[in-house]
Amino acid sequence: MEGSVCALLIDQMGQRDQVLDDEVKYRYNNVILHYRKSFIQDNAQRVSPLSFELEATLKLARFLCRKELAKEVVDLLTAAADGAKSLIDASDRLILYIEIARLFGTLGYHRKAAFFSRQVAQLYLQQENRLAAISSMQVLAMTTQAYRVQSRASTDHALYQESGQNHADGGKAHHNWIVSLFESQWSSIQMVVLREILLSAVRGGDPLTAWSAAARLLRSYYPLITPAGQNGLASALSNASERLPSGTRCADPALPFIRLHSFPLHSSQQDIVKRNHGRDDWWAGSAPSGPFIYTPFSKGEPNQSSKQELIWIVGEAVQVFVELANPCGFDLKVDSIYLSVNSGNFDAFPISVNLPPNSSKVIALSGIPTEIGPLKIPGCIVHCFGVITEHYFKDVDNLLVGAAQGLVLSDPFRCCGSPKLKNVTVPSISVVPPLPLLISRVVGSDGAIILYEGEIREVQISLANAGTVPIEQAHISLSGKNQDSIQSIAYETLKSSLPLKPGAEVRIPVTLKAWQLGLLDPDAGPSKNISGSTGRQVKDGCSPLLLIHYAGPLAYAVDASTNGSIPPGRRLVVPLNICVSQGLSLMKARLLSMEIPAHVGENHSKVQVETCSAEGSPRTDRFMKIDPYRGSWGLRFLELELSNPTDVVFEIGVSVNMEDSNNEENPEYDYPKTRIDRDHTARVLIPLEHFKLPVLDGTFLVKDSQMNGTASRRSSFSEKSSKAELNASIKNLISKIKVGWQSGRNNSGELNIKDAIQSALQSSVMDVLLPDPLTFGFRCGNNTKQDFAELKLDEESDAQGARKGSVKAYDTIPVEVLVRNNTKEMIKVSLSITCKDIAGENCVEGDKATVLWAGVLSGVTLEVPPLKEYRHSFSLYFLVPGEYTLLAAAVIDDANEMLRARARANTCDESIFCRGPPFHIRVNGTM
């Protein structure tokens, strides 16, 4: 019957149609049916017809093996597979499975074909010989693609290229690629297939295939493998590597898992700035640009990852941070790992790493660019378990995306406790020719410049060109906080040293002044430290920065790859790490006033005053101006109380400059040096002889609540103008006072007390600095109308020893009292004049009167116009020679709100009393 079917096919050779197919199926089905019926159990010891039946079934399936007849072919092959269980000879089953696998593969049923191929491999493994093991390994290798466990060496490279686009589209891996790589529902079968490959490779003596299978099994299915099984796979990897020659490479990576972590921030001494040939000040507007050295888009544009560019320089080492993970239960030793660069213009430096069980570690991989051009870093080269493999960053990125979508068993980095890492955008890396490289250091410093508050010191900044290209352009600018602490920079020193050749060094002097640690507290008492600091203080981010922009030659060396572009410049950020320590601290600042009485004599144009110098001798070598408001000499002193909490000794000196001179070398007043020991305080009195105040009216003294609305609005402009004039006067005084200090031989500086002085002046301006509403003066002699404005010290004596300018006893002396109104309002007063002797007793009243008078001395009612003087005349007749004192006082009638505010009156009925300073009269004669 089989022969008739064969004869039919030979007769109809080349003429295939549906009728022929039906005829063949009908006849061959009859053949198969006859073989099946001829099977007798009792006849089992004889030749079995099963083999003939299975052979006929395979012949029919081979004849019908087409896509359109797939269902019938599958039925036939399934029946044949069921019959294989009854075959006694293993060789027959082997041949049967091979044929079934081939026919399923022809139909395109790859997983069914792979299943029967595995049956073939298992039959080979049962033969216990090397050749059979090699055959089993070869058969299993054909099944790996169907089970998605194929080696990377056999994977279509185009598929990897497709997945490599994940960096360009923001880290989204191709979905089909993830599904094809990882299908968690196949994990058990996949593990079995890889295990069978591993066993067959070990028996067949193929260590590289065994290493590859163990690496794939350990890397992809570590969560499903027990710790003992993981250790067994690690041993299998080590054993296989021992049978491989040194330097063997494998396409399939093992542990560890490697992902790109970040591109580190470049050192401030290696920052790069794009240079525009059209601008001489190419550095203008440039600032540190974060993790990328040069960002070509402007501030307003969105941050597009496709435009980010990273520039590396030939010959300068760079770093890339990668993270390693070992999610298994054994210690992993990575013999070497380094960056993989396919372009060939990069020399990578290998390092070794040890990873404990279930741990991760971030490491820095470095290297040196060797040639200009683009550069790509796809992954890392790893030497681990005795074999060299290449780990692609994109594979791990796809793995992590698959883990997030539930397509992968687990995230190895999360298993190791690593924090979730955002997708790292890989910039476009380009290598440019060598650039100059400045290295800075502070000469004689260990990293920090320790200064006392207000200390002025010159430091040397050393700049050395550590590159291979000379520096032809350089510019210094300031940045950061406390820029005013840099008083001067020797710009010309740097410019004169250009071009700075490779290896050359230049030192730039920079003068620094330490800032104040705290401000004056206006409410601070004598025991309160106004500077508000104790001990040494270092504030992060408070130190100024030197920004040095520099560049080499304008043109690259002749090279077609540069396209005529201009090499970039560089920016060196030099932080001046200033550590400000507390030095002299200002405990208190206050303003004092002192009245020195004038001597009134018959020398009408002069009023004699005796003062002594610091050495104790009378001083007659200078002129002093009379106070136009108080009518006598009014000296004001600024008292500074300074404390020394440090462990060194300070010497302070105070100077006040002349009003019309800005020369600090010739101050008007130079206080002698004062030594302040440790934990001691000192007080300094600064005379303020040339300080003038503007004339202020009531709008400055009266609050708005004390005036009606119309008056308040009318005085607003005047009030602002007066306050501005007063503040300007105070600031003018402060600018002339300088408190300098010196400690040791080299440390010197200034104490910043401007805020303290201003606070002291403003707090006492009402009591001391503002003029009294009424001031008084006296003139005596025959020529009382002469207006004398200067008082000169005169120590010449006449023949009798009496001083010139004194009056004589027994003569009638005409006297005038001058009452001045220092306000802008009319004032009505009741004036009284008193004359006292040296004992302080009244000389014009009572039985013991020693002075007779003519005129009115008390109850004089008068009106003083605004900013004018009123003169009242009387005469004195001295009966006894000696020292006398004239005092003038007045009671203001109907005082307005301004005067009450000035006198701090509590009630509206309270009298306002004004008293003038004492005026001395020396009366010569005999008793």
**Single pTM value for the model:** 0.61
The CATH number of residue 476's host domain is 2.60.40.10
Judge if 575 and 589 occupy the same domain.
no
Task: Please state, in angstroms and as integers, the Cα–Cα distance from residue 226 to each residue in 321, 328, 355, following that order.
Answer: 32, 9, 19
* Residue 682 pLDDT exceeds 80: yes
> What mean pLDDT comes out for the span 208-228?
91
In a domain, 664, yes or no: no
What is the tally of structural domains in the chain? 5
Q: What is the pLDDT of residues 844-902, one digit of tens each?
A: 988 888 899 999 999 899 999 988 888 999 999 999 998 899 889 999 887 777 777 77
In a domain, 605, yes or no: no
Q: Which of 401, 432, 463 is the last residue of a domain?
A: 432
pLDDT of residue 725: 72
- The two tokens of residue 480 are 């950061």
Judge if 90 and 235 occupy the same domain.
yes
Q: Which of 770, 794, 814 is the last residue of a domain?
A: 770
Instruction: Let me know: does 23 contact 1? Beta carbons within 8 Å.
Output: no
pLDDT of residue 700: 52
pLDDT of residue 383: 96
- The two tokens of residue 70 are 């797939």
In a domain, 623, yes or no: no
pLDDT of residue 525: 38
Judge if 200 and 222 occupy the same domain.
yes
The CATH number of residue 354's host domain is 2.60.40
Judge if 916 and 852 occupy the same domain.
yes
pLDDT of residue 228: 93
Model confidence band, residue 14 (pLDDT cutoffs 50, 70, 90): confident
* Residue 913 pLDDT exceeds 60: yes
Question: Which residue in the block uniquely carries the two structure tokens 């009366």?
Answer: 923
The CATH number of residue 152's host domain is 1.25.40
Question: Which residue in the block uniquely carries the two structure tokens 């009245």?
Answer: 595
Model confidence band, residue 286 (pLDDT cutoffs 50, 70, 90): low
Instruction: Let me know: does 238 contact 385? Beta carbons within 8 Å.
Output: yes
Instruction: Let me know: does 76 contact 53? Beta carbons within 8 Å.
Output: no
* H or E element at residue 687: strand 680-687
| Angle of the 90-107 helix axis to the 70-83 helix axis, nearest 10 | 170
780 has which bridge partners? 815
Instruction: Let me know: does 336 contact 350? Beta carbons within 8 Å.
Output: yes
In a domain, 835, yes or no: yes
Judge if 839 and 915 occupy the same domain.
yes
Q: Which of 432, 464, 480 is the last residue of a domain?
A: 432
Range of the domain at 114: 18-157+181-245
- CA dist 395 and 400 (Å) reads 9
Judge if 76 and 197 occupy the same domain.
yes
In a domain, 86, yes or no: yes
Judge if 867 and 728 occupy the same domain.
no
Judge if 455 and 402 occupy the same domain.
no
Buried b (16+ CB within 10 A) or exposed e, 555-567: ebeeeeebeeebb
In a domain, 704, yes or no: no
- Of 465-474, 622-631, 904-913, the range with the highest mean pLDDT is 465-474
pLDDT of residue 19: 75
276: amino acid identity, one letter: N
742 has which bridge partners? 651, 748
Judge if 386 and 376 occupy the same domain.
yes
Judge if 151 and 219 occupy the same domain.
yes
Instruction: Let me know: does 758 contact 728? Beta carbons within 8 Å.
Output: no
- Return the higher-pLDDT residue of 118 and 625: 118
Judge if 472 and 381 occupy the same domain.
no
Judge if 747 and 858 occupy the same domain.
no
Task: Please state, in angstroms and as integers, the Cα–Cα distance from residue 742 to each residue in 94, 583, 654, 747, 901, following that order.
Answer: 103, 11, 12, 6, 45
Instruction: Let me know: does 587 contact 641? Beta carbons within 8 Å.
Output: yes
In a domain, 618, yes or no: no
Instruction: Let me know: does 887 contact 834? Beta carbons within 8 Å.
Output: yes
In a domain, 900, yes or no: yes
